[in-house]
Amino acid sequence: MLEEVERWLAGRSWSAADRTLDQLVAAKRATGSTVSVVLPALDEEATVGDIVETIRRELVEGVPLVDELVVVDSGSTDRTAEVAAKAGARVVHRDAILPRIPALPGKGEVLWRSLLVTSGDIVCFVDADLRDFSADFVSGIVGPLLTEPEVQFVKAMYDRPLGSADLDSVAAGRTGQGGRVTELVARPLLNLHWPQLAGFVQPLGGEYAVRRSLLERLPFPVGYGVELGLLVDALHTVGLDALAQVDVGVRVHRHQDGQALGRMAAAIYRTAQLRLSRGHLVRPVLTQFERGESGFEPRTYSVDTEERPPMLEIEEYTRLSGREAG
């Protein structure tokens, strides 16, 4: 298995600098492909505008790489929608998509619904909380899908500094200390149960590009488990050689506190568990502790367990032009 991972790393890991924008635009024109970029957003007014503006300026107006730039707002209480629209995105509210199915909270829910309001042959997901955003995050991961016909799913890889001091360490060539759930939960799970995926540097990263023809065949965990679920299911659907990763540099974003990470970890474990066995499963709740007036007090949270079916099973989707189930 180690030899297979090493072979995959040698043949399916690239840098964003390996393909110029001119090469990507030429490949896009030659293949007739279209590209949609989707930003799932919840209360991200501080960062979403800069991300949208950069993509629009460099990859829509600068070169014709991105055909569609959509922000799906999942219930923001701040100015996220206004800021995103002003920067040049088409903004769609989660609840306005597929209204016959009541929306559930969670990032995966937003990504799943986004397939109904986009049309690109390639769908590129980008988190809306990134700071110091570079258009390489989009062009880098879209690149292999335009130039390598056999590649169907591309994840971004990057250093993840934990705070400003760690950013200095990354600049000095040391590995960032962010991605705590990846290192403590996702990487051990993948190495133990799906060792073919051990070569992915950032398996939980929110930046990845996928051919629509694959995405529409995959189930979507509605919450934090969506990245791991899609990656594992893509492996089983199209095989390791259809998966790839691209180095885009450094990812700077907002970090969660320890308890939020615990809830995220539980959802990711649950997603893995569902894929390992469809039989008896542990209880879908997580108890954490917070110090109160009388000592430590338990707080119990539900763990995301819902999954949306492949989009090809949704009647509204199959009625869309060119999206009939085959």
Domains, the chain, ordered by start: 2-318 (3.90.550.10)
83: left (phi over 0), alpha (psi -120 to 50) or beta: alpha
Identify the pLDDT of residue 289: 56
* pLDDT tens-digit series, residues 108-163: 999 999 999 999 999 999 999 999 999 999 999 999 999 999 999 999 999 877 55
Q: Is the separation of the CB atoms in 287 and 300 below 8 Å?
A: yes
Q: Is the separation of the CB atoms in 185 and 196 below 8 Å?
A: no
pLDDT range class, residue 233, cuts 50, 70, 90: very high
> What kind and span of H or E run contains 133?
none
- pTM: predicted TM-score of the whole model, two decimal places: 0.86
Identify the pLDDT of residue 253: 56
Termini Cα distance of the chain:
35
Question: Among 23-27, 99-103, 164-168, which is the least confidently predicted range?
Answer: 164-168
* pLDDT tens-digit series, residues 11-31: 999 999 999 999 999 999 999
Token pair of 118 as six digits: 């986009």
| Model confidence at 36: pLDDT above 70 | yes
98 vs 111, 222, 276, CA distance in Å? 13, 15, 30
Give start and end residues of each alpha helix (H) in the chain.
2-12, 21-31, 48-55, 80-87, 107-114, 136-147, 164-171, 180-181, 187-193, 212-215, 226-238, 258-276, 315-318
| Model confidence at 295: pLDDT above 80 | no
- Give 76's DSSP letter: -
